[in-house]
Amino acid sequence: MADPDKIFLALKSETRRKILEMLAAEPMYLTQLSYYLNLGQQAIFRHLQLLEEAGLLESDFREAGQGAPRRYYQIARAVRVEVQISPEMFDVELFDVPKIEISVPKEFPELAEIVRTCKKLSKEPNSREKLSAFSDLLKQLGQELDKINIAKSAAEATYSNIRNHIRSISYELLPQRIDQRIIQTLASRGGELGISDLTTILHLTKDTLLERIKKLETGGLLKIKDNEQIILL
């Protein structure tokens, strides 16, 4: 799994973002990048090193016609970074975009048809018609992504709204902040968590957590199972 801190550091620089944009089009070597970005080769090399350390680039030597082989740089992986910041939550997730084929959920028939058409086209000989068909597929895929993103935004807004209600209810039901945090965490994580998970999330000792859980259990807000699972009632 990639280190999000290294990726954020890599993306912090506008020059490194430009390098990624250029390499997304085609692999390039150091002299090319230096020329197009109008920066010295040493500076470019330091940027490339940092991008490689973040796991975003890889390089190898290739024949370049005349002269000695050159080290070409290219993007090493397809990764998606998602950051959500709101009054109700902070979340950072990294997703490796799969290169292999994966099945399309039946809830997305239009997307499934695009995937089927792409597979069919890929087996046909290269031609102008094939180029045009792929261009049209990208347009359709962009429309599908727009719909998915709208649905995702609606789900995220509702998620934040629900967490806000959970926080408001916990404030009204419980006077102590530590108890509020326990109930909020349980309610926001599906209503059931292990004691070890709760101690890690809330940065509490096990003894302190158990003391508060017993009081909340007496109040009928939660119960604890023999396997140390805590359940919101």
> 106-133, pLDDT tens digit by residue?
888 898 899 889 989 989 999 999 999 9
Within the chain, where are the H helices? Answer: 4-12, 14-25, 30-37, 41-53, 109-122, 128-173, 177-188, 195-202, 206-218
Q: Which of 8-12, 17-21, 82-86, 168-172 has the lowest mean pLDDT?
A: 82-86
pLDDT value, residue 133: 93
- 100 pLDDT band, cuts 50/70/90, is low
Mean residue pLDDT of the chain comes to 87
Instruction: Give the pLDDT of residue 98.
Output: 66
Would you state the pLDDT for residue 20?
94
Q: Are 83 and 92 in contact (CB under 8 A)?
A: yes
HSE, CB side, 13 Å, CA atoms: give it for residue 113.
6
Separation between Cα atoms, residue 103 and residue 123, nearest integer Å? 19
Distances (CA, A) of 214 to 58, 174, 221: 54, 14, 10
Lowest mean pLDDT among 31-40, 67-76, 99-108, 137-146: 99-108
Kindly report, residue by residue over 133-150, the tens digit of the pLDDT.
999 999 999 999 999 889
Question: What's the confidence (pLDDT) of residue 1?
Answer: 56
More confident residue, 120 or 92: 120
Q: Is the pLDDT of residue 186 over 90?
A: no
| Tens-digit pLDDT profile for residues 190-215 | 888 888 888 888 888 888 888 888 88
What is the number of alpha carbons within 13 Å of residue 227 lying toward its C-beta? 5
Does the pTM of the predicted model rise above 0.85?
no
Q: Is the pLDDT of residue 2 over 70?
A: no
The residue-averaged pLDDT of 16-32 equals 93
